[in-house]
Amino acid sequence: MPNVIDINQDQFVEEVVEKSKTIPVIVDFWAPWCGPCKQLTPILEKLVNKKNGKVILAKVNVDENQGISGQLNIQSIPTVYGFVDGKPVDAFQGAQPESKIEIMIDKLIESAPGNEVPKLLKEADLLFKDQKFEEAQKFYESLIGMDPGNPKIISGLLRCLVQLKKYDDANDIIESLDEEVVKAEEIIKIKKLIDNIGDGSFENFDDLKSKLDGDPENKEIRFNLANSYLAANETKLGFDELLFLFDKDPKWNDEAAKKKILEYFDILGLNDPNVIDARKKLSSMMFK
């Protein structure tokens, strides 16, 4: 079954309404004379083909199919509708950023009838949040079999491997990923985390701890110690030093401690147990 089709109004019920009861259908209303359509349609085709059969793009030339355009009250083009389970559930008009369109497509796929992956992914995420990393790893691995190119699943698995200090396994997975998957935001973040681990630009934290013991008010040493902990994947210890520094002097070095904390919140994700704990502590410090 092709991922991209051209349809007329006589085919609309069969190819859009009925088909969307088993697979999401995106309808692109366009015309040959429409400049923005010429920009949007190739993006839609690219993103739909990237989803490997999980969604269909149906293109409707409004000049040749004015009946269905009138029924759906198409006021301007390009207009794009997303159909799931026989009903339009999302729509937009005009050119849109590729990232925004992909978010819409992913939501359509997640809401498709019979798609159990989003629910199961939440269960895997909960195991990770509860620090049951080995169980979560197995769960994510089973989900990859159901949805091989899903960056959320892959990043979940990679985060488990990082927590279990299986860095070589994580890097092997990253190297095996398709180019498009590697570009996903979730994968970029976890790759950055793995790259930061083992960063040799900081002193050994044992040496830094000795220096700090001799000069406990030295903020630069404490900041470097925090970075050294983070580079060794000792995330809680790293956050503890940064939070201590922020609590003592929030403005030090252009708010360096806070910026580093927020950077790692973003990289690690809100489900990370250390992030959950550190966010609570940071909030209490900021609003005390």
Q: Which residues are catalytic?
A: 34, 37
Q: In 3-state terms, what secondary structure has residue 28? A: strand
At 121, list the tokens.
């992914």
First to last CA, the chain: 60
Is the Cα dihedral 160, 162, 167, 171 positive or negative? positive
CA-to-CA distance for 78 and 75, rounded, in angstroms? 9
Task: Look at strands 56-61 and 87-93 and give their pairing.
Answer: unpaired
DSSP state for residue 133 in the 8-state scheme: H
CA-to-CA distance for 244 and 206, rounded, in angstroms? 18
Cross-strand partners of 30:
61
CA-to-CA distance for 87 and 191, rounded, in angstroms? 39
Is residue 116 packed enough to be buried (19+ CB in 10 Å), middle (13-18) or exposed (0-12)?
exposed
At 133, list the tokens.
């990393």
Cis peptide before 250 (omega within 30 of 0): no
Q: What is the C-alpha R_g of the chain?
A: 24
At 48, list the tokens.
């739909």
Smallest Cα–Cα separation from 58: which of 101, 20, 115?
20
